[in-house]
Amino acid sequence: MPVDLQALAPADLIATSGPAATVERPEPSALAARFQQGIKHLVNGVTVVTSADDGTWYGIMTTSVCTLSADPPTLIACVRRRSQIGQRMGRARRFCVNLLSEQQRTVAEAFTGPPGADGSPGPRAGGFGHGQWVSGATGCPVLEDALASFECGVDLMYGYSGQVVIIGAVLQFRQSDDALAPLASAAGQFCHVMPVADPGRRNAPRR
């Protein structure tokens, strides 16, 4: 019988994970401080996740997006539970992940502030004034010159701590023809992604 993840508490999910659930955990406050220092080394792509509800656009910058499955194409996106988009996702049931290029830092910054009372930019204000936005096939805002845009329908939502974890089936996809590098985030700041030289090639003898 399939398990309804939305009906399970976090403790229930941990208990089903096997032997790791029995490992003694450090104090939450001490672990959180160490975790925040360590996770800064993780490099993430920068995206703007958007949605539309009752004719109004909503968006938020997030680096918490990853692939769940290539066949069928499925993404996971995490947004703040208290953000405007997080509060409306259960009703909208659709969203678009817009991957930003290194030239779109101002777009990313526009969707991180200035914050409203709930910590997110206002609808159709601030963020959507930066870049060329159009209504996609699902009605969600799509950034025309994003590196790639994935319009999704919500398959599953799960609230965890202050986040909403969204699993979305990709319904529409568009990709830019421009050969630009993606905008990334690491160590608490935006950064460029550059290829690493192959040591084998560098040290190979010349013929």
As a whole number, the mean pLDDT across the chain is: 82
Nearest-CA neighbor of 104 among 140, 130, 77? Answer: 130
Residue 37 is assigned to a structural domain of this protein: no
pLDDT in the model for residue 121: 45
* Rounded Cα gap, residues 101 and 54, in angstroms: 30
Residue 193 is assigned to a structural domain of this protein: no
Residue 10 is assigned to a structural domain of this protein: no
Give pLDDT tens digits for 16-44.
Answer: 344 455 566 667 778 888 888 888 888 99
**Which domain CATH number covers 168?**
2.30.110.10
Residue 189 is assigned to a structural domain of this protein: no
Q: Which two tokens stand for residue 95?
A: 């969203």
Give pLDDT tens digits for 44-94.
Answer: 999 999 999 999 999 999 999 999 999 999 999 999 999 999 999 999 999
Q: Which two tokens stand for residue 160?
A: 């965890």
Any residues with CB less than 8 A from the CB of 65 and at least 6 apart, and which?
45, 47, 49, 75, 76, 77, 78, 97
pLDDT in the model for residue 124: 45
Please indicate whether residue 90 or residue 205 has the higher confidence score (pLDDT).
90
> Alpha-carbon Rg of the chain, whole angstroms?
19
Nearest-CA neighbor of 182 among 48, 73, 81? Answer: 48
Residue 130 is assigned to a structural domain of this protein: yes
What residue numbers bound the domain in which 132 lies?
Answer: 44-178
Kindly indicate the confidence band of residue 126, based on its pLDDT and cuts at 50, 70 and 90.
Answer: low
Residue 200 is assigned to a structural domain of this protein: no
Asked whether the predicted pLDDT for residue 10 surpasses 60, the reply is no
Asked whether the predicted pLDDT for residue 115 surpasses 80, the reply is no
Highest mean pLDDT range out of 52-56, 164-168, 190-194?
164-168
Average pLDDT over every residue of 100-128: 71
Please indicate whether residue 135 or residue 1 has the higher confidence score (pLDDT).
135
Residue 15 is assigned to a structural domain of this protein: no
Any residues with CB less than 8 A from the CB of 124 and at least 6 apart, and which?
56, 57
Residue 202 is assigned to a structural domain of this protein: no
* Total tally of structural domains belonging to the chain: 1
* Rounded Cα gap, residues 17 and 5, in angstroms: 13
